[in-house]
Chain A
Amino acid sequence: GAVVSQHPSWVICKSGTSVKIECRSLDFQATTMFWYRQFPKQSLMLMATSNEGSKATYEQGVEKDKFLINHASLTLSTLTVTSAHPEDSSFYICSASDRLGNQPQHFGDGTRLSIL
């Protein structure tokens, strides 16, 4: 089945640090990748949709200057949380779908971000 790799799995850093999270599709070409955030005991909240070679589409209320998304290739998208603060602490999860949109979204293992 489709495999999506996400790295790192856990980050603990000081307030003000910028953190980069990578999402890779290992066995298919992902034209579209999605970034979600999940706070404890809440459901997934879509942050942005990333299409290869174009600018990401952000959901309402998500600051695009704070959450920088790059999708430079068909297998890699990155999310950078700039100048992270404690309120940014959350579980960040990416998912990917293939070129034709036929592949259901498959999720990476997630990145737990803790800002001190």
Chain B
Amino acid sequence: QKEVEQNSGPLSVPEGAIASLNCTYSDRGSQSFFWYRQYSGKSPELIMFIYSNGDKEDGRFTAQLNKASQYVSLLIRDSQPSDSATYLCAVGRDAGNMLTFGGGTRLMVKP
């Protein structure tokens, strides 16, 4: 059983729309949650991290965490074609320690 689950996609949204990416995890002891963006052939780039229940906003990105439901999501407002990439959800017990990655969701933003 995978510990971090993501829909592989592709998730296709029109330019300017809100893209909603979801992730569920199985380890109830998880305390730190991360979203990474990975362009094809490149290494992952940290976009957001969240440690507490609720929402955290940074520019066009909002991370949402619900520990009771073991669910974390990433919203991208005003999606741009340059947002097209694979988004990896990662979960860990500590911020800097071992993370478990989901399989990633491929997002396609169409002009």
Contact = CB atoms under 8 A, between A and B. Distances in A.
Interface string B82-111: 000000101000111111011110000000
Interface residues of A, number: 24
Given A93-B44, A109-B43, A110-B42, A103 B101 contact: no
A12 to B, nearest CB: 15
B43 A97 contact: no
A91 B94 CA distance: 26
Interface in A69-116: 91, 93, 97-98, 100-110, 112
A105 B99 contact: yes
B101 A43 contact: yes
B98 A103 contact: no
A97 B44 CA distance: 15
Given A109-B42, A109-B43, A101 B97 contact: yes
B88 A104 contact: no
Contact of B97 (A42, A97, A109): A97
A43 B43 CA distance: 11
B95 A46 contact: no
Interface of B: 32, 34, 36, 41-46, 49, 88, 90, 94-99, 101-104
